């Protein structure tokens, strides 16, 4: 199985900050990498797929990059509604695997 490791596990930031979350795969996964946002009590929501493609309806302050084993999710200017937990997930192979999550706190 491909292991996904996110860092940091938690992050404190303020409205307006630029934030970057990283995700590392244990094997190369090309750009088969997805990012999800989850708010308390809600199901996850896809933000980015193919490492860098913004899902329809997701604000352009979210961006993704990377290829191979190292990936980043960047939020250019944090908004109050962005405080949530973020997960990366590889779609290169089955079984699918998620990172352990990054909790973004005020």
Considering only 46, 65, 69, 74, the residue that binds other proteins (CB under 8 A) is 46
Q: How does DSSP assign 17-73, residue by residue?
A: --EEEEEEESS--TT-EEEEEE-TTS--EEEEETTTEEPTT--TTEEEEEETTEEEE
Smaller CB distance to other proteins: residue 14 or 94?
Answer: 94
In angstroms, what is the minimal distance from the CB of 71 to other proteins? 14
Q: Using the minimum distance from each CB to other proteins, give the nearer residue, 8 or 18.
A: 8
Cβ nearer to other proteins, comparing 16 with 95: 95
Pick left, alpha or beta for residue 91 (phi over 0 → left; psi -120 to 50 → alpha; otherwise beta).
alpha
- Whether 75 and 24 have beta carbons less than 8 Å apart is answered as no
Q: What is the DSSP letter of 84?
A: S
**Closer residue to other proteins in complex, CB, 15/54:** 54
For other proteins, the binding residue among 64, 86, 99, 104 (CB under 8 A) is 99
| Interacting residues with other proteins (CB under 8 A) | 1, 31-32, 34, 36, 38, 42-46, 49-50, 53, 55, 87, 89, 91, 94-101
């Amino acid at each position: 199985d491909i292991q996904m490791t996110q860092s940091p596990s938690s992050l404190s930031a303020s409205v307006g900050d630029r934030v970057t979350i990283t995700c590392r795969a244990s094997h190369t996964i090309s750009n088969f990498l997805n990012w999800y946002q989850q708010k308390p009590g809600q199901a996850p929501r896809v933000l980015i797929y193919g490492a860098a493609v913004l899902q329809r309806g997701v604000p352009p302050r979210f961006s993704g990059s990377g290829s191979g084993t190292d990936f980043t999710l960047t939020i250019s200017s944090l908004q109050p509604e962005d405080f949530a937990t973020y997960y990366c997930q590889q779609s290169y192979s089955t079984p699918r695997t998620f990172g352990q999550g990054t909790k973004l706190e005020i």
